Amino acid sequence: MTETSNNSDADHAGRGDDGFPKEFIWGASTSSYQIEGAARADGRGPSIWDTFCRQKGKIANGDTGDTACDHYHRYPEDVGLMRDLGVQAYRFSVAWPRVLPHGRGVANEAGLAFYDRLIDELIAAGIEPWLCLYHWDLPQSLDDIGGWTNRDCAGWFADYAALIGRRYGDRVKRFATFNEPSLFTLFGYAFAWHAPGLSDRADYLQAIHHVNLAHGAAVDALRTVPSASIGGIHNWQPCVAATPADGAAAEQLAAYWNGAIADPQHLACYPPLVEPLIDPYVRAGDLARICRPVDWFGLNHYSPIYTKADPAAALGVALGPSPAHVPRTGVGWPIEPQAFRETLQTVHRRYRLPIYVMENGFGSTDDRLDDAGRIADRHRIDYLKSYTDAMRAAMAAGADVRGYFVWSLLDNFEWNSGYGPRFGLVYVDYATQRRVPKASFHWYARMVQEARRGRSP
């Protein structure tokens, strides 16, 4: 499917004066390592996150994704929850090491069969599967030979993409290549906060370029699926100077965070601040290999990033703090819906592609069952309401936004923060794996229902 961006504002088909277009897609997102568990089941190979979680002091509370939400076994219940939620679409990721235990070579039939079952269950429930190829769980065997710092990784990724296209392309139309490539390269290869835990400028720069090459190669591989509609998922967050002296640091971080991946993939160039540093790794023809036509722009957005200069840090920049007057989520992220509106408009103007918001949500640390057995997560509802209002305002101002996926369906493993932060519309009691829809679940269900009826939610 090819979609062209609608740049002429108010005439986006079917939109009422103040509502969402009826064909707007409402969804929910998750990722493999954060929910599946079953880390050793049915021939799954280890990923860099399995390894990283075992390194002392890397993950809060020593948590791991070994069991997570046990979605691997409980997916029918989880799809049932999505049906109750009323979403039209569900975005999940395939665990590369579940289907190719060593990242390449012989595929694991049992792992492939899991995603067959999940996809079939979704389709039977009337929910469209949106499949992301990579949400950070690189097979450990590939990391052992350099992972994203090895240029060959682009080819291994393209082979994996071709396998996924062949296997599921009869039922899946929507494919995303990478989730937040700028974040996993920055956090994994420069800041050492995420797997594989490196902090080296050359590794980081190579990882950026090789991930970009992998994206281009995977887009080409997926084009063999005749109905494929393909995009990447980028976390675009405005980088704001924490103090007046931090302007240059904010500009530098923005070049990496927002530009170093999205620009070459869509505009065939690296941002000027990054280009001279990446140049040693760029071969003739690379930018044409990276910039392959895509059908949409997947946007993850939570908050602006306050940035300060820090000469001791890997790139000379560090995060935070946000100004005292700005309210924050339970996990300390600034709540600034107008930055979301501006981001949607910026991304619309810059890349001229239909935008799907693939992640937006509220992290808390105090979601609890009350005496009546409910979770009254008022703050999450307020956040989601203000952010979806901001999205509507951006659309009214011309941004071509076609869908919104909340992060997340379920509470889950929040990377180096472990299970402390909860982002789900559904509460997960990890001791029993009981699922309890929160107040925000019922709020979102109502909103989706109203919006789909063409009413202003």
Q: Which residues are catalytic?
A: 180, 359
Where does this chain touch ligand FCB (CB under 6 A) — which range of 142-150, 178-186, 199-207, 431-439?
178-186
Q: Is position 235 an interface residue for ligand FCB (rule: CB under 6 A)?
A: yes
Residues 378-397, mask of contacts with ligand FCB (x by CB under 6 A): --------------------
Q: From the CB of 413, what's the least distance to ligand FCB, in Å?
A: 9
Q: Specify the residue, 163 or 335, whose C-beta has the smaller distance to ligand FCB.
A: 335
- Options 26, 156, 257, 415; binder of ligand FCB; rule CB under 6 A: 415
Nearer to ligand FCB, 150 or 416 (CB): 416
Q: Which residues of 306-324 are buried (b: 16+ CB within 10 A; e: fewer)?
A: bbbbeeeebbebbeeebee
Let me know if 392 is exposed, middle or buried by CB neighbors in 10 A (0-12, 13-18, 19+).
buried
- Residue numbers 81-110 binding ligand FCB by CB under 6 A: none
Q: How far apart, in whole angstroms, are the C-alpha atoms of residue 272 and residue 157?
A: 28
Torsional sign, CA 212, 95, 143, 199: positive
411 binding ligand FCB? (CB under 6 A): no
| Six token digits for residue 433 | 């794996």
List the one residue from 141, 179, 229, 307 that touches ligand FCB (CB under 6 A).
179
Nearer to ligand FCB, 34 or 252 (CB): 34
Identify the residue whose tokens are 């927002």.
258
- Residue 198's contacts (CB-CB under 8 Å, 6 or more residues apart) are 188, 189, 190, 192, 204
Give the residue with the Cβ less far from ligand FCB, 297 or 407.
407
- Rounded distance between C-alpha atoms, residue 376 and residue 359, angstroms: 22
Among 359, 377, 400, 411, binds ligand FCB (CB under 6 A): 359
Q: Distance (Å, rounded) from C-alpha 143 to C-alpha 48?
A: 7
Concatenating the DSSP letter of every residue in 271-301 gives: -TTTHHHHGGGPPTTHHHHH----SEEEEE-
Could you say which of 143, 336, 400, 414 contacts ligand FCB (CB under 6 A)? 414
Q: Which residues contact 132 (CB under 8 A, 6 or more apart)?
A: 31, 91, 92, 93, 94, 175, 176, 177, 178, 179, 233
Q: Which one of residues 127, 132, 138, 183 is an interface residue with ligand FCB (CB under 6 A)? A: 183
Per rule CB under 6 A, count of chain residues that contact ligand FCB: 12
Binding positions for ligand FCB, 27-46, rule CB under 6 A: 31, 34
Choose, by CB under 6 A, the member of 423, 427, 443, 444 that binds ligand FCB: 423
For residue 342, give Cα distances in angstroms to 338, 356, 402. Answer: 6, 15, 16
Binding site for ligand FCB (CB under 6 A): 31, 34, 179-180, 183, 235, 300, 359, 407, 414-415, 423
